[in-house]
Amino acid sequence: MSTPLVGQIINLLAAVLLLIVFAMLAQRRLLRLIHLFALQGAVLTLNTLVVAVTLHQSHLYFSVILNLVLKVIVLPWILIRLVDRLDLRRDAESVGNLPLIMLVAVVLVILSFNVALPISELAGTMTRGTLGIAMASVLISFLMMITRRKAVAQVIGFLSMENGLFFAATSATYGMPMVVELGIALDVLVATFIFGIFFFQIRETFDSLDIRNLENLKDRE
Amino acid sequence: MFWLALGLFGLAAPVERGRHARLFFSLSAIGGVVLTVVGLAGLGNWPQAMVLGLGLPDLPFHVRVDPLSSFFILLLGVASAAVSVFSAGYFERGGGGDIRLVCLQYHVFLASMVMVLVADDAYLFMVAWESMALASYFLVITDHRVAEIRRAGFIYLVVAHLGAIAILLAFGVLQLGQWTYTFDAMRNAPLSTGWGAVAFLLALIGFGAKAGFLPLHIWLPEAHPAAPSPVSALMSGVMLKTAVYGLLRVSFDLLQVQVWWWGVLALAVGLATAFYGAVFAAVQTDMKRLLAYSSIENIGVILTGVGLALVFHAYAMNLLAAVALAATLYHCLNHALFKTLLFLATGAVMHATRQRSLGKLGGLIGRMPWVAALALIGTLAIAGLPPLNGFVSEWLLFQSFLLSPGLPNSYLNMFIPIGTALLALVVALSGYVMVKFFGVVFLGLPREESLREAHDAGMAERVAMGWLAAWCVVLGLVPVLFLRALDPIFQLMVGATLRDSLDASSWMFVTAVSPEQASYSPIVFLLVIVAVIVLGGLGLRRWFSVQRRRAPAWDCGFGKRNARMQDTAEGYGQPIKQIFQVFLRLDRHHPSPFDPRPRYHSRIEDPIWERLYVPVARLVDRLSALVGVVQHGRIAVYLVYSFLTLLLLLALIL
Amino acid sequence: MSFSHVLLQLIQGLLAVALAPLVLGWVNQCRAWLQNRSAPSLLQPYRVLLKLLRKEIVLAHNASWLLRCAPYVVFACMVLAACIVPLVATDLPFSLAADVIALVGLFALARVFMALAAMDVGTAFGTLGSRREMLIAALAEPALLMVFFTPALIGHSTALPNIVETFTTGPLQLYPSMAFAAVAFIMVLLAENARIPVDNPSTHLELTMVHEAMLLEYSGRHLALMDWAHALKLMVYMAIGIALFLPWGIARPHDWLGVPLALIAMVVKLMAIGAGLALLETLAAKMRIFKVPEFLGMAFMLAVLGMLIHFLVEA
């Protein structure tokens, strides 16, 4: 029962991450969603920092810096600019049947915890449950992408999914190899740019960012 | 000893020819009291079996009384005593139908329920079960001149028979190739898990049809309002419990092994039923329909307990299974008490006012103080409030839910607590429903002029309701004594005793597993509350002597007010309607604000009826049309069919 | 159970009953300060009570015995609740009489009586208040139960003294799940005690009122008892919150020296929570009644998350 203090802090951060993912799932306003995303990045950074300090692993310090720059500053900044340019500041969308979605998310948490249990026992890190939480964040972000209709929210879901993956890596194996991490970071950055361009294209074509319009692209016989 | 009671019912039934309802119903009330005593005495005894010389040749009836059946006999005795006394007053003043027929059917109904409880072979069980169904069917259609009542009776009959078929099949599976239908043989049948599961599922469907589990609840809200009040009281209070008895008998006694997912299934169905019943009860506008839906809710709670006990027992956590079972049985008895009480109260109200719709009642507390006071006890008990009996069973059920994290299955560990929350919602909603029921019927201003002439219930009715209310209070205050009496059942069914935890602290404190875990003492509740009220009241009188004055209601200075400004039953249920819209099938019409003669109407229907039963009925229609093709009406053709069948059978055998 | 236990029990009960209006006065004062108003005296609730007790009782013509009984029952329930919750010490004889679930039942008893009495006279406002109150309670109860689930899992008990024992005697540990439960509990507290954002305790004569609407037909000593019971309920809820989430300082069994210390700790904690409550009430705006399900749904989700997190990382 007595986990060392560091383990407890990591657990706390994991709990906060789970809370943030749930908040993102329920959040209707785009701007708040981006703020939540930035917060998620910040918690992630803090978590990595804690792990890095305790284990004295120098490559983790790099990923701390990378995280801080990319996920707390750059990506939210790009997203906010995007929202400004697209004039979506006040945009709020209806999130279908919220109680149902929430229940599904709870089921996902339970599921992912039970799936992750054997793996995290193998991993032998300080904390057992964090892998389950990481997996749950990935799945819930996925759920968020499914339930949203607006493209920007979907992108945030995608990015938050990446955050979940990163957290999984930190909690299971204390970070990925540097090369992989850099690669992913670059990917995410580029993906965001591409999405940004894509949004403008969508809007020019349909006058809206509602992705239901994409259904119209299908050939009709 | 139980011969006496059975004989009494048996005798009372055929001899009945007299005009005096009073005599016969009083006699049957004595029978009920005797049964109560028999049941109480039987709780401590070990099973006594007996073979009767009745029945078909070579197929004698086996009977057996063990603590479980004793418990349900007790339940039947308590409730039937009250209902009989009530009926003596109710039918004397001319409540529906031919009194002699009613009397006969009533007693056949009672006797067959006793038979169901003591049967020890499938044959007797089914005979008793069917006669119970038929007797209650005839009682439901006492007012058979009304088309709606005939329809309700028909639906009841169909569902009851579907259930009976499933039960028959379940027994067939249980005996598995031995071709002896005694329960003893079934207990020893070497059943594989697969067949066990089939038997359990069939039993769940079969008894579920009688008890009103979720998709099969459809007959309850139709049949209960149709029947005369004492009959609905008996059906809701006791007959539903015979189904619970059957389920318990099959799943804990006849089936020797349990698999955890049966319990989970029962738990899920139970929670769904409870929730469904609670939401629908909250939006009803007819007194008896409201109570019928509330019965569905309570049956759901009971099934939840059964499911939990099954899960615990499947994992060999017998002590916890005993706690869950204790909650289940306690709730069975509680529901028999307060639901019977409330149905009798509606009977008294209908008698006095000739109104059944909640929208036309109100303010009866001034006219019918006795009925109101006794109904208040029933209301508080059913709403699950301490220190009355409803709370004890709910407390025990919550405790067993809270113990579920000890289960060695991490999925269940996490899902079952969420079920607890659903249960909490159901309990809170039942409080809502009961405040609505009592408030709309008894409080406020009378909504119709005629209500001012309402008269209080007669002596017989008061005695009947008082008897039930007294049981509610006693069972609420000294649960420990009663739980100790139930202990043999737990030993028999799940092989665990609650003695240790019950004896751990004094008789004033109920504990689920250990006093460190949790304890609850209704006596202290009552004593402190009464003490504070008395001391506070006296103190206030002593130091602040003020006078009291009657004046028109303040009502924010609104001035003009009349009875139509109060919330009706519909208004009271409106928030629930709004929030749980998804589950209801609403047909609502809002008038426009400029309409000079605005009319508002809103009707709520059971979506399950539309989505499940109507398609099934259509399917059956279509199939029977197909069968109709081969019918020509010519005898020669039918003979050809028989001939072909015979040939086919011969070919099969050869 | 010795004489000293009974004495302790008596002292705590009387203390709670006596202090409850003061707590309410403190919350009101903080709120007034935060809203740049000059605050009424701390003792104002006492003055109101005294005034009401001296006034004559005016009853509606058709008021029945239920209306007259209800204030006594409600008040008695709250006194009992105040005796059960460990406010200064854990070894109270009455605390065995009820665990948290029975406490919820006790509150429900008081609430049902209040809601029934509100329907007694048959005014539009009374029934409206009654149905809203029952609705809010019905939605708050699942959330409250889930809040209790987590500490019950950690303490292996639903009895408050045992939960307090677990937290005060065990090694200091971070419980993220308890943080979630605490937030959810605060939300339930706001809903159950008719505070902003669910109900506004200072409105009277407004169509949005819930609790006040139920008390419209009361006057004189009945109203005094109802108001007092309301103040007690708020204090008991705070005490439950303290016992679950900030139990440090509550006197252990047979620790008589700890009692004065516990008293000081209690006063400090109540003051802090009261100030926090006033802050929350200043920041938040009252919501529509049909937003309440969402609010309480959020509390429920938080509590469920707390429980899951307990399974995930703490078990």
Do A75 and A188 contact (CB within 8 A), yes or no? Answer: yes
Over residues B522-576, the pLDDT tens digits come to 888 999 999 999 999 899 888 887 888 898 888 877 777 788 888 888 888 888 8
Chain A touched by C102 (CB under 8 Å): no
Over residues B90-138, the pLDDT tens digits come to 776 655 556 777 777 788 888 888 889 888 888 889 988 998 999 889 8
Chain C touched by B386 (CB under 8 Å): yes
- Which carries the bigger pLDDT value, residue B607 or residue A109? A109
Characterize the bridge pairing of strands B548-551 and B48-56. Answer: unpaired
What pLDDT was estimated at residue B379? Answer: 95
Over residues B33-71, the pLDDT tens digits come to 777 777 777 777 777 777 766 666 667 788 888 889 889
pLDDT at C204 over 90: no
- The torsion defined by the Cα of B234, B236, B241 and B244, in degrees rounded to 10, comes to 150
Return phi, psi of residue B584, to 5°: -105, 160
Cα torsion B160, B163, B169, B170: sign: negative
Calculate ∠ Cα A96-A34-A162, nearest 5°.
85
Characterize the bridge pairing of strands B519-520 and B510-511. Answer: antiparallel
Lowest mean pLDDT: which of A63-72, B366-375, C223-232?
Answer: A63-72
Q: How many domains does chain C have?
A: 1
- Which carries the bigger pLDDT value, residue B182 or residue B280? B280
Chain C touched by B614 (CB under 8 Å): no
Over residues B421-444, the pLDDT tens digits come to 999 999 999 999 999 999 999 998
Residues in chain C: 315
Q: Mark yes or no for CB contact B414/A110 under 8 Å.
A: yes
Residues of B in contact with A132 (CB under 8 A): none
Other C-beta atoms closer than 10 Å to the C-beta of B650 total 9
Which of A103, A114, A120 to probe by mutation at the B interface, max B CB count within 10 Å? A114
Over residues C277-311, the pLDDT tens digits come to 999 999 988 888 888 998 999 999 999 989 888 88
Q: Mark yes or no for CB contact A106/B411 under 8 Å.
A: no
Q: Mark yes or no for CB contact C301/A11 under 8 Å.
A: no
- Euclidean distance between the first and the last CA atom of chain C, given in angstroms as a whole number: 35
Name the strand (E) or helix (H) holding B510: strand B510-511
What pLDDT was estimated at residue A169? Answer: 80
Q: Which spans in chain C are helix H?
A: 3-34, 44-54, 65-84, 100-120, 124-155, 160-169, 176-192, 211-214, 220-245, 258-283, 292-309
What pLDDT was estimated at residue C218? Answer: 92
Nearest CA distance, A90 vs chain B (angstrom): 28
Q: Mark yes or no for CB contact A117/B414 under 8 Å.
A: no
Do A76 and A34 contact (CB within 8 A), yes or no? Answer: yes
Of B300, B308, B258, the residue nearest B415 (C-alpha): B308
CA distance C226 to B322: 41
What pLDDT was estimated at residue B7? Answer: 52
Residues of chain A with pLDDT under 50: 1-2, 221
- In the block, residue with structure tokens 């709910």: B394
pLDDT at B240 over 80: yes
CA distance A28 to A152: 12
pLDDT at B284 over 80: yes
B17 — pLDDT class (breaks 50, 70, 90): very low
Q: Determine the 3-state secondary structure of B515 from DSSP.
A: coil
Domain coordinates in residue numbering, chain A:
5-217
Calculate ∠ Cα A120-A125-A131, nearest 5°.
40
Chain C touched by B275 (CB under 8 Å): no
Residue B242, CB half-sphere, CA atoms under 13 Å: how many? 29
Report whether the peptide linkage leading into residue C161 is cis, meaning its omega lies within 30 degrees of zero.
Answer: no
Chain Cα centroid distance, residue B65: 22
The residue type found at B241 is K
State ipTM.
0.94
Return phi, psi of residue B60, to 5°: -70, 155
CA distance C75 to C17: 10
The residue type found at B3 is W
Do C97 and C257 contact (CB within 8 A), yes or no? Answer: no
Region C232-239: what's the mean pLDDT? 95
Nearest CA distance, C50 vs chain A (angstrom): 47
Of A135, A163, A170, A185, the residue nearest A53 (C-alpha): A170
Residues of A in contact with C167 (CB under 8 A): none
Chain B with chain C: Cβ pairs closer than 8 A: 270
**Residue A100: closest CA among chain B residues belongs to which residue?**
B582
Which of C292, C311, C312, C314 to probe by mutation at the A interface, max A CB count within 10 Å? C312
Give helix C292-309 / helix C124-155 axis angle, nearest 10°. 10
Residues of C in contact with B521 (CB under 8 A): 96-98
pLDDT at B501 over 90: no
Chain C touched by A186 (CB under 8 Å): no
Quote the domain boundaries for residue C51. 3-314
What pLDDT was estimated at residue C69? Answer: 92
pLDDT at B486 over 70: yes
Nearest CA distance, C206 vs chain A (angstrom): 31
CA distance B65 to B122: 15
Structure tokens at B507: 């008789």
* C:160-179 residues touching chain B, CB 8 A cutoff: 162
What pLDDT was estimated at residue A118? Answer: 77
What pLDDT was estimated at residue B15? Answer: 44
Count Cβ neighbours within 10 Å for each residue of B483-520 and write b for 16 or more, e otherwise. bbbbbbbbeebbebbbeebbeebeebbbbbbebebbbb
Over residues B206-232, the pLDDT tens digits come to 999 999 898 888 889 888 888 888 889
CA distance A3 to A127: 8
**Averaged pLDDT score across all residues of chain B:** 84
CA distance A108 to A98: 15
Which residues lie closer than 8 Å to C243 by C-beta, 6 or more apart? C85, C86, C160, C163, C164, C250
What pLDDT was estimated at residue A116? Answer: 80
Name the strand (E) or helix (H) holding B519: strand B519-520
Chain C touched by B445 (CB under 8 Å): yes
- Which carries the bigger pLDDT value, residue C249 or residue C64? C64
Q: Mark yes or no for CB contact B550/C139 under 8 Å.
A: no
Report whether the peptide linkage leading into residue B47 is cis, meaning its omega lies within 30 degrees of zero.
Answer: no
According to DSSP, residue A208 is labeled S
Catalogue the E-assigned strands of B429-476: none
Do B412 and B404 contact (CB within 8 A), yes or no? Answer: yes
Region B303-313: what's the mean pLDDT? 93
CA max distance for chain C = 62
**Averaged pLDDT score across all residues of chain C:** 89
Neighbours of chain B (3+ CB pairs under 8 A): A, C
- Of the candidates B424, B439, B546, the beta carbon closest to that of C116 is on B439
Q: Is B66 left (phi over 0), alpha (psi -120 to 50) or beta?
A: beta
Chain A touched by C182 (CB under 8 Å): no
Q: Mark yes or no for CB contact A113/B418 under 8 Å.
A: no
What pLDDT was estimated at residue C313? Answer: 77
pLDDT at B18 over 70: no
Of B244, B220, B345, B207, the residue nearest B292 (C-alpha): B220
Residues of A in contact with B418 (CB under 8 A): 106
